[in-house]
Amino acid sequence: MSGIQKFACWTLAAIVLGGIALSIIVPADYTVQFRETPNAVPTHQHLLGTDELGRDRLARVLYGTRISLLLAPAAAFLSTLMAALIGVVSGYFGSWCERLALAVTDLVLSLPWLFLMLAVRAVLPLNVSPLTSVVITFLLLGLLGWAASARVLCTGTRVLRNSDFILQARASGLHGFRLLAVHIIPNLKPVLYAQFLISVPVFILSEANLGILGLGVAEPLPSWGSLLRELEGWGGFSTEPWKLAPMLLLILVVSCFQVILAREEVSA
């Protein structure tokens, strides 16, 4: 692991720990309204000021960081699990099973990802509780983001299926799902890990897009998307630079993931 990759990992860890340690870092709760100081500038009491309802911005940014950085990996895990189920099974059995899976995958990939996600979310209930909105967003990202990973895993499984050590295992009497579990899936772990890492920043940005449009996590729960939505009517960098905190965190986290992925590709 190179120095820049270690720095990216430590930066991600620091941001995650900062979000988890919310109650220690900021005494104010993200829902508490200081009605006497709405839209306040940063002070010693509110380091990032307050929003239009008088809620502490720093508390909401940190809590939104926790929501986004827990939601995206959870959705990536679900997406990778679905991709493994579809891609590995179809690639292992081949024939009509593989052709059917690839046809469905191509159909899903041919649809514009962002518009598909927005269309599906728009037909779901919008006036829901915050917890329900988190579950809906998690399921939406996970259930719609599996196609690209499934195609990669299907190809990888097909290559392994025709490899010499698998043919030798078949000749030794190992067949069916036991062969799949003992020899193929363990050799696909690096691919599964890579697909999971690729999915996390994609889902972070997707959740941000949903939140900006008001289709993501519902109030009063904050997320990076809903916090970015508050930039509507922003006064500008010269007058209100503190409002860019969620955007800077979003850019920093996605950039760290890209550094880690790029370095791993170079190493591979």
CATH value at residue 16: 1.10.3720.10
The whole-angstrom separation of Cα 197 and Cα 257 is: 8
Predicted pLDDT at 4: 86
Predicted pLDDT at 74: 92
The answer to whether residue 202 sits within a structural domain is yes
- The CB density around residue 125, as the number of other CB atoms within 10 Å, is 8
The whole-angstrom separation of Cα 210 and Cα 114 is: 9
**Which range is least confidently modeled, 76-85, 113-122, 231-240, 241-250?**
231-240
Of 173, 195, 252, the residue nearest 10 (C-alpha) = 252
The whole-angstrom separation of Cα 104 and Cα 204 is: 25
Predicted pLDDT at 1: 65
The answer to whether residue 133 sits within a structural domain is yes
The answer to whether residue 26 sits within a structural domain is no
Q: Tell me how many domains the chain contains.
A: 1
Q: What is the DSSP letter of 36?
A: T
Peptide bond before 190: cis, by omega within 30 degrees of 0?
Answer: no
Amino acid code (one letter) for 39: N
Amino acid code (one letter) for 199: S
Reply yes or no on whether the pLDDT at 91 is more than 70: yes
| The token pair that represents 145 in the structure block | 């983001």
Predicted pLDDT at 23: 64
Q: Considering the chain, what is the average pLDDT of its residues?
A: 86
DSSP 211-265: HHTT-SSPTTS--HHHHHHTTTT---TTT-GGGGHHHHHHHHHHHHHHHHHHHHH
Instruction: Give residue-wise pLDDT tens across range 150-177.
Output: 999 999 998 988 888 888 888 888 777 8
The answer to whether residue 37 sits within a structural domain is no
The answer to whether residue 33 sits within a structural domain is no
Predicted pLDDT at 123: 82
Reply yes or no on whether the pLDDT at 266 is more than 50: no
User: What is the domain extent for residue 118?
Assistant: 3-20+57-267
Asked if residue 220 lies in contact with residue 185, where contact means CB atoms within 8 angstroms, the answer is no
The answer to whether residue 42 sits within a structural domain is no
Q: Where does the chain have alpha helices with state H? A: 3-20, 22-25, 57-93, 95-110, 113-123, 130-144, 147-161, 164-171, 176-179, 185-187, 189-212, 224-229, 245-267
- The mean pLDDT of 35-53, rounded to a whole number, is 88
The answer to whether residue 217 sits within a structural domain is yes
What's the predicted TM-score (pTM) here?
0.86
- The mean pLDDT of 97-125, rounded to a whole number, is 85
Instruction: Give residue-wise pLDDT tens across range 64-74.
Output: 998 888 889 99
Instruction: Give residue-wise pLDDT tens across range 209-252.
Output: 888 888 888 888 899 988 988 887 777 777 788 889 999 999 99
**Which range is least confidently modeled, 48-62, 86-100, 194-208, 250-264?**
250-264
